[in-house]
Amino acid sequence: MRHFLLASAILGLSIGPSAAFEKLEGYFIAEQVCEAYQSKNRQTNPGDILTAPQLAYELLGINKTGGDFFQIHVDGAPVTQSRWVSTSCGIHVVEADTATAPPLTDDEITPVPDARESTDNLLTLSWQPAFCEIRPGKQECQDLNTGNLPHTTRQLSIHGLWPQPRGNDYCGVSASVRNLDKPGSWHLLPAPDLDTETADALAAAMPGVASHLHHHEWIKHGTCYFGEGGADEYYDDTLLLTGLVNDSAVGDLFFNNVGQEVTGAQIRAAFDQDFGQGAGDRVLVKCTNDGNRTLINEIWISLRGLINPSSNLGDLMLAAIETEMGCSGGLIDPTGLQ
């Protein structure tokens, strides 16, 4: 273990228009959660990247002698991994232990008294190839587009299970955890407590696990589900429902029409076929546009009732309130950037 040396060394000065920038050796140790900007002047932050307290970042330099912004290297940050952070956010050291900071613990989540398990929920499922047309830089999309996730072209993937009404989020979650709930710092959120079987099944059904999406979904939505089994029950129930959809006429419709156009009416009719007449009226179809094509991106399924291993998905859907169709139709996108 190397020790922190609270000193800095200047390696040299840039020449030309950016001569004010000073290169520095060593590391930046964040002391608080701060924005890590692509542009310090415009304060743009692709990916909503935040620094994590007690985490060491490679230091690239400072905007000028005695300046007010350090430039640091942030692994995995989109657009550019060179980011600007306020000098008031942390300290410059020459040597540092660069291991990542440990995730926050469940001590940052407190029980909500007299909470009852959610019976009004929205199951959101994604067609992963369409998602990855828009966000190809994510790890799960790099895996998908290089052929390493073939199962995602045969089934819908988990986005989340969201207790309703909308805005019923972050139950018992501290402000420090909520402030970290950005894509660039999901890995620092408290990890859901899952048994091995659930964790393995989730990794296959939710490709976003590679980007710690399951941390985000648990913190924002799962903490308001209030199942007695905590995160394990929350994801077991999500996996159960997702499997029922993928094993139905809905899953067949997506699998058999990759590369083809389907309508929102067809998707709703597939729900009616296997889950009862009117079930499709509880399905909202979401589309995205990659610049040239309209792609089926997600389906949002309204549910009402207690979810358990013996639940009938049709009954849960028919008990919910009807919703608009949303997107009238689009392409079932094949794998790879088109």
| Domains of the chain with CATH codes | 10-93 (2.30.30), 106-331 (3.90.730.10)
CB–CB of 293/281 below 8 Å?
no
The overall average pLDDT reported for the chain is 88
Is the pLDDT reported for residue 55 higher than 80? no
Closest CA to 293 of 147, 133, 119: 133
Rounded to 10°, the helix 230-246/213-220 angle is: 110
208: Cβ contacts below 8 Å, ≥ 6 apart:
138, 140, 157, 158, 159, 214
At 16, the pLDDT band (50, 70, 90 cuts) reads very low
Q: What is the pLDDT of residue 56?
A: 77
User: Which residue is it, tokens 């309508």?
Assistant: 263
Tokens of 77: 């940050």
Output Rg (C-alpha) for the chain, integer angstroms.
23
pLDDT at 7 over 80: no
Please give the angle made by the CA atoms of 237, 242 and 246, to the nearest 5 degrees: 155
Q: Quick one: pLDDT band at residue 179, thresholds 50, 70, 90?
A: confident
pTM: 0.74
Cβ–Cβ under 8 Å, residues 56 and 107: no
What is the Cα–Cα distance from 254 to 154, expressed in whole angstroms? 8
3-state secondary structure of 31: coil
Instruction: Tell me how far apart the alpha carbons of residues 171 and 226 are, in angstroms, rounded to a whole number.
Output: 9
Residue 228 pLDDT grade (very low, low, confident, very high; cuts 50, 70, 90): very high
Q: For residues 63 and 20, is the Cβ–Cβ distance under 8 A?
A: yes
Higher pLDDT, 48 or 225: 225
Could you give the 3-state DSSP secondary structure of residue 130?
Answer: helix
Res. 127: pLDDT tops 90: yes
Task: Give the model's pLDDT for residue 137.
Answer: 87
Classify the C-alpha dihedral 237-239-241-247 as positive or negative.
Answer: negative
pLDDT at 3: 39
pLDDT classification of 104: cutoffs 50, 70, 90:
low
Q: Distance between CA 184 and CA 282 in Å, rounded?
A: 33
Question: Do residues 271 and 323 touch, judged by C-beta distance below 8 A?
Answer: no
Q: Is 258 helix (H, G, I), strand (E, B) or coil?
A: coil
Q: Is the pLDDT of residue 19 over 60?
A: no
The mean pLDDT value for 224-244 works out to 97
What's the average model confidence in pLDDT over 47-75?
A: 85
Reply yes or no on whether the pLDDT at 14 is more than 50.
Answer: no
**Distance, CA of 138 to CA of 126 (rounded, Å):** 15
**Residues 100, 101, 106, 108: is their CA dihedral positive or negative?**
negative
> What's the pLDDT band for 10 if we cut at 50, 70, 90?
very low
Predicted confidence (pLDDT) at residue 13 exceeds the cutoff of 70:
no
pLDDT tier at 302 (50, 70, 90 boundaries)? very high
| Contact status, residue 331 vs residue 295, Cβ threshold 8 Å | yes
- Check if the beta carbon of residue 245 is closer than 8 Å to that of residue 287: no
Indicate the pLDDT class of residue 5, thresholds 50, 70 and 90. Answer: very low
Contact between residue 122 and residue 162 where contact means Cβ atoms under 8 Å apart: yes
d(CA 277, CA 44): 48
